[in-house]
Amino acid sequence: MGAEEVIAAGYELAGRVCRELHRAGLPAGVERPGAPVQPGVRVEVDSQGKRAGGLYARWSAPEMTEAAVRAMTERQDPAAPEWKRFSEVVLLMQTALIGILRLAGFSAVRAEEVDDIVKGDVYVHADAPSSS
């Protein structure tokens, strides 16, 4: 399978993941360059490297994120309550997303298991079943 087919399969997988999350009542969309960040689950297709065609799903709460970042930058306080709350919500949503996606038959893991830089995201392997 060539690179273009792998990426196309990744976007097809992303569509299936978003449909399953919608069925569970969660807003979800595939991340596109330049699109505004919306609340809910943002799904990003991995387009390069050994994991090409897989995807990252991340919980997006722009208002909460903005407050957490503002607290960190303005007060220089890594223990700021806004940052702690944001971090805890991200981890709770990571657990929920993995559970929802696994129930639907996807191969979903904490993103830290495949990429130690991406904390709080969910990684969905490209080899997820085609029927969901």
Cα distances (angstroms) measured from residue 46 to each of 42, 55, 121: 13, 5, 13
The overall pTM is greater than 0.85:
yes
pLDDT tens readout for residues 29-79: 998 888 888 899 999 998 777 777 789 999 999 999 999 988 888 888 778
Grouping H, G, I as helix, E, B as strand and the rest as coil, residue 45 is strand
**Distance (Å, whole) CA 68 – CA 14:** 28
C-alpha distances out from residue 4 to 13, 52, 68, 125, Å: 14, 10, 38, 17
* pLDDT value for 1: 67
Pairwise CA distance, residues 37 & 120, whole Å: 17
> 128 or 30: which carries more pLDDT confidence?
30
